Amino acid sequence: DIDQEYGGKLDWPVFFGNDHEVELDVGCGRGLFLFRASETRPGTNFLGMEIDYREGRRSARRLQKQERQNARVLGGDANVALDRMIEPHSVSAIHVYFPDPWWKKRHRRRRIFTDEFVGRCARLLKPGGYLHSWTDVEEYFGVISGIMDHHELFTKEEPPAEVLPEHDMDYQTSFERKKRKDGWEIFRGLWQRKAL
């Protein structure tokens, strides 16, 4: 139990066994981003969060098979973990790729991107840290951009140049792979946390 072992707040050097920078992957799904990022950036630690325990376990097993010491997966509600388990200004980047758009109007309150969520991200990110978000839903990207662009602690940045994948494992996420192969447009956003 993390609350018992770590006293409720994660101590990154204890949790990962080193003092490297930490990045979060909120809604990590099957873990392709964690898998790729932990391999290409061994000097950075990654914590994935996934509310769907089946997908979270799949992601964790994939990382465990490859003995990735710099990546972990936490099952449960990311908003709860962000509030209770992570120290302020202790994270270098937060990645939110293809969040559920919750199509039905009555379900839209379930969307991860809210003013409260962005406030949590601002509290956790170090000054100069980044929030990355991609989606295939133009309407939802408009909502995300509207919230982010009007938050006083973030500035909009130009996303990195898009690189077309050459191989199935070159995609950012499994969901991106599916959508790109189906010909969908991907909307990408990047915002930087302002200095304190």
What are the DSSP calls for 83-152, one per residue?
HHTS-TT-EEEEEEES-----SGGGGGG-S-SHHHHHHHHHHEEEEEEEEEEES-HHHHHHHHHHHHT-T
* Residue 1 pLDDT grade (very low, low, confident, very high; cuts 50, 70, 90): very low
Q: What SS3 state is found at 173?
A: coil
Domains in the chain, number: 1
**CATH number, position 187:** 3.40.50.150
Instruction: Using the CB atoms, write b or e for 32-63: b if 16+ within 10 Å.
Output: bbbbebbeeeeebbbbbbbbeeebbeebbebb
Catalytically active residues, by annotation: 100
Domain that holds residue 50: 2-193
Please give the model's pTM, rounded to 2 decimal places: 0.88
pLDDT in tens, 152-175: 999 999 987 776 666 544 446 566
How many angstroms separate the CA atoms of 149 and 191, rounded? 8
State residue 38's pLDDT score: 96
**pLDDT value at position 7?**
56
pLDDT digit string (tens) for 124-154? 999 999 999 989 889 989 999 999 999 999 9
pLDDT at site 179: 65
pLDDT in tens, 76-123: 999 999 999 999 999 999 999 988 765 566 656 767 899 999 999 999
Please give the pLDDT value at position 99.
85
